[in-house]
Structure 1
Amino acid sequence: METIAKIRRRHLVNGESISAIARSLNLSRNTVKKYMNAADEPRYLRQYQHKPQLGPFLAILDKWLEHDQLLPKPRRRTSRRLFEGLQNEGYHGAYDSIQRHVKIWKVSRDPSKLTQAFVPLSFAPGDVGQFDWSYEYVVLGGVSHTIKLAHFRLAYSRQMFVIAYPRETQEMVLDAHVKAFSFFGGVPRQMIYDNLKTVVQTVFAGKSRRFNGRFMTLANHYLFEPVACTPASGWEKGQVENQVGNIREWLFTPTPHFDDFSGLNAWLAQRCGELSSRRHPQRAETIAAAMRDERPALNPVSVPFNSYVEQPLRVSSTCLITIDRNRYSVPAAWAGKVISVRLSAEYVRAVADGLEIACHVRVFGRDQVFCDPWHYLPILETKPGALRHGTPFVNWTLPLSVENVRQALLTEPKGDRAFADILLGARDAGLEALDIACQLALEYGKPSAAVILNELRRLVEPPRAPSLDVPENLRLFTEPLADCTRYDSLLAVNHV
């Protein structure tokens, strides 16, 4: 536009000729003439885009697109795969040309792919919350990981909450809701979701859904209504969809470094609080101020939900149950039996006859074994030799005095039986009492199982009952005096 104004001033004000202007500005005379009568900014509309590289291959590309259109969506080739296929046919152009042509081709077949119009939405305080997952990259303990990030968003205040997990399993979904509602200080009346399997069991026509049973237990506990979006209609929860991109830019660029998930999630919760100081997009206040207005409208949380999923498992002959290719021990009494296993985001709990019989911190590697030595002590009654090479006992970290006793006993004949008896005697007392008993036995000299067990019994022996109150009618009013001289008479008799 500056060039047009310059041409018009030089000709109409300064009186320069068209030829002189064209030579000085390195333009053609026809261009100068066209600009002489232009008062508005020129608009350039390309009538046809030349495709010198792609042109000879358009027929092949369109044929491939027509063929893929008949296939199920997961089997259709992406623009990148089509580009690689054309390269094998001799194409030397850019990938962008393929991508642009594929987009135009799809829009020509389905005009609904053009930009759609939407109605602006407004929400009442405490009315709606939205949920979604995303994949992010972090470095944990010096190793790069792909994590799953659970996103929550309150539609009125725009308050966000995110928490990271190694997977998207149902116990992770349940745990994320517990943490989010605790962070918000309440529960919205509705929660909107995609049709993910951990939430929706069956999708029927329209809005009808059959929700997952365990998820509905969560919804009934917190008294919110779950709502599933129409398939492929992400705009129905557009706030949290937009939040995914924002969080990736604000919190995961560059890649954050932490020691573990605990440190990462503590930082994410802190950053969610800090980001609430931003201005609300539709109100003349901050997100934190809008959240203060919305919190009283949320349903209060009285008791947190117990976020676990339960499944029956058979215990192996080695007293192990298998969870996600990792094995955890349970008490030997349950070997070969079916028990109930409660999986949460952090723990693996074994339950039998309504009682918790084992609890392990959950790990997410593979092919790892976690044995609690106390679970295997009953086996030592018949198999004391397992002390020498049994996995639970070889890697058992014992107090120093107990380890010294162990090393001393295992060098003697039947030492494994003696140490097994010591451990069996300490099942109820615990390692702390056993440690003291072993220290006392080592002070006496060479330790033995009998001495240690005797010391252990003395340590854990319950206090003696107090002396009985003697009834008044049985109490002595005149107590006899001690007379030791009477023993002298006995000596005299014996002497005779």
Structure 2
Amino acid sequence: MIIEVDIYSAIRLRYTGGESIRSISKSLGISRQTVKKYCEGNTHPDVRKTYERSAAVITSDVESFILSCFLEDEVENIKKQKHTAKRIYDRLVNEKNFTGSYSSVRDAVRRLRAEHEIPPQSDIPLTYDPGEAVQIDWGEATVYIDGQKTKISLFCARLCNSCDILVQAYRTQNQETFLEAQQRAFDFFGGVPRRVIFDNAKVAVKEGFGLYAKPQDKYLSFSAHYAFTLDFCNPAKGNEKGLVENLVGYARRNFFVPVPRVDDMKSLNEQLWQLCLNYRATHKVAGRNQSVSELYAIEKEYLNPIPRFRFDTSKTVYAKVDDFSIVRYEKNNYSVPTRYIRKEVTIKGYADEVFILYEGKPIATYQRSYGSGNTQYRLEHYIDLLERKSRAVFNAKPVRDNITKELLDWGKILPGGNKEMVKLLRLCLDYGEDKILSIKRSIPSHIIPTVDIVRSCLNEPLETPVIYLNQDIEVLETDLTKYDRKFGVVK
């Protein structure tokens, strides 16, 4: 019988007060067996005995057969061809003449499987020696770059011993950004850990996963130069790099709220660099006795030194300059000086910049374009050609893409026509468009503008031709008669 707490209290109080079980039973109207059960406090009404009932048909032989089925599955290791409870029941009936019910076998399979399998959620606490490893990963965040809402990729790195961090932002996730980001991490940490832990992303792995992963050739060369070993995680096993997985969320919540508004990626990364320095100086990880700063000071001494030669992280290609003085790199176009038309140049693409070289010497540098079909022109690359083909000046894309409409409209009213406009463009390259426009605005409206007027304003004469010295120059008098005496001119 299940009783309430007030009845239980009355039984205990009366019994400890000396009242008999018979009297308590009669006065409370409950059986003597119930009073006897609770009077000495050997149990409590809230205690419920767990229901246990084992089927008699599940003998030790049946359990051994079920376990042997589990063992077969482990040996074969075929994910979609494993014993189910129904299949085990059918085999027991056919092979062991089992006469019990399917439900008894199903319950036994569930119980034995739980006893012999490790739950997939189980984790092992890990610890790392100073300088042993760094975990790296990618994440995403949203920022405003030059007023445009932009989704960016976050590279996150965390030293496993001290938990020091670095977070940097990139336009996309490719091999150039991946290698450059690790270089920055080594610079930030002041050394190279002995092991890098990462997942199986294509920027690092060309085939396989985990222990069987084959790294990309350039990443293998990069790791050889910086003397660290590669440790790739198993698919969908974020717990194998839990430190950096937590960092991705931490960075989004703490570094990108409120949403940053920056002019370019460089200024954003400078902000993130400083935030990571502040984290190092002030943060203390829960459950640790020392701060990140104290642990980092110890771990830094165990990091391998950074090689003096800086590994080239760029994606390098060779291309021929076309007749429009343009080269193509990663679906986008970049101009070069016209003297390199039909010559082969080297293009080095980094995370944020593109360098174009001819015979090892740089001839053009650009901010890297992402997307497709974009063309960047430089006016200085075409000015020599425009001096020869001045009729094309007002329709030339390098001119329209680099010169304001105000200057173009002004050039159309110059007396010399197209040739005068080309001369004006040359002055823009030499002195800057803002300077030329300021001169244009200073010329009275009744005066017809010419390039010579602009030149005269650029070459402003001195206020006075007289040069004043701070002090007079002292001229020493020299006795020249000694030369006359030497050569016998004077006796």
Question: TM class, shorter-chain normalised?
Answer: 0.5 to 0.7
Distance 1:421 1:257, change over 3 A: closer
C-alpha separation in 2, matches of 1:406 and 1:236 = 65
Match of 2:397 in 1: 391
Match of 1:115 in 2: 120
Distance 1:337 1:249, change over 3 A: same
Match of 1:175 in 2: 180
Matched, 1:215 2:201: no
Matched, 1:133 2:135: no
1:311-460 to structure 2, matched below 5 A, reads: 311-364=317-370, 367-397=373-403, 406-409=411-414, 412=415, 415-420=417-422, 430-431=430-431
Matched, 1:9 2:9: yes
Distance 1:396 1:238, change over 3 A: closer
Match of 1:93 in 2: none
Match of 1:298 in 2: 303
C-alpha separation in 1, matches of 2:11 and 2:148 = 69
CA drift of 1:194 comes to: 1.4
Distance 1:221 1:455, change over 3 A: farther
Distance 1:7 1:343, change over 3 A: farther
Amino acid at match of 1:373: L
Match of 1:86 in 2: none
Amino acid at match of 1:257: P
- Between stretches 289-298 and 212-221, larger displacement belongs to 212-221
Cα deviation, 1:249-272, whole Å, max 9, x if unaligned, reads 4445x5623235344433433333
Cα deviation, 1:446-467, whole Å, max 9, x if unaligned, reads 77678989999999xxxxxxxx
Match of 2:208 in 1: 203
Partner SS, residue 383 of structure 2: helix
Percent identity at matched positions? Answer: 26
The 8 Å contact of residues 411 and 420 in structure 2, kept in 1 or not, is answered as no
C-alpha separation in 1, matches of 2:252 and 2:278 = 16
Distance 1:396 1:114, change over 3 A: same
CA drift of 1:236 comes to: 3.3
Relative to the length of structure 1, the TM-score reads: 0.61
Partner SS, residue 174 of structure 1: helix
CA drift of 1:191 comes to: 1.1
Cα deviation, 1:63-88, whole Å, max 9, x if unaligned, reads xxxxxx97xxxxxxxxxxxxxxxxxx
- Alignment equivalent of 2:313, drawn from 303, 307, 310: 307
**Gaps in structure 2 of 5+ consecutive residues:** 16-23, 29-33, 53-78, 81-109, 462-482, 485-491
Matched, 1:271 2:256: no
Aligned CA-pair RMSD:
4.9
The 8 Å contact of residues 148 and 166 in structure 1, kept in 2 or not, is answered as yes
Relative to the length of structure 2, the TM-score reads: 0.62
CA drift of 1:305 comes to: 4.2
C-alpha separation in 2, matches of 1:266 and 1:456 = 38
Distance 1:170 1:433, change over 3 A: closer
Structure label with greater radius of gyration: 2
Match of 1:257 in 2: 260
Matched, 1:224 2:222: no
C-alpha separation in 2, matches of 1:353 and 1:341 = 11
Matched, 1:243 2:247: yes
CA drift of 1:46 comes to: 11
